[in-house]
Amino acid sequence: MISADLILSLLMLLAIALVVCAIARWRREGSVRQVWLMLIAAAVMLANVAIWALPGGADNVPGAPASAAG
């Protein structure tokens, strides 16, 4: 099973890479629409990491089995 720490680390690295690539694309080509889409995707990734990193018990960890309602 993949560790939650690994998932969060990969999301952080990918979000940073998206921001760096967006800045490079904007400087090189000036394609504003694609730059904004890349920045929005990075923001969504970072928001997911923030939600998962909040303290909330075992139900908050990605990859954890869903608890039964009841």
Residues 30-56: tens digit of each pLDDT: 788 999 999 999 999 999 988 888 776
Distances (CA, A) of 35 to 28, 48, 60: 11, 20, 31
pLDDT of residue 22: 94
Q: Which two tokens stand for residue 26?
A: 């904007």
Read off the pLDDT band of 70 (50, 70, 90). very low
Query: Could you tell me the sign of the dihedral formed by the alpha carbons of 37, 43, 48, 51, in that order?
Result: negative
Reference 11, options 52, 49, 47, 60; nearest CA is 49
pLDDT of residue 56: 67
Per the CB < 8 A criterion, the answer to whether 16 and 39 are in contact is no
pLDDT digits (tens, 9 = 90+) for 4-35: 888 889 999 999 999 999 999 999 987 889 99
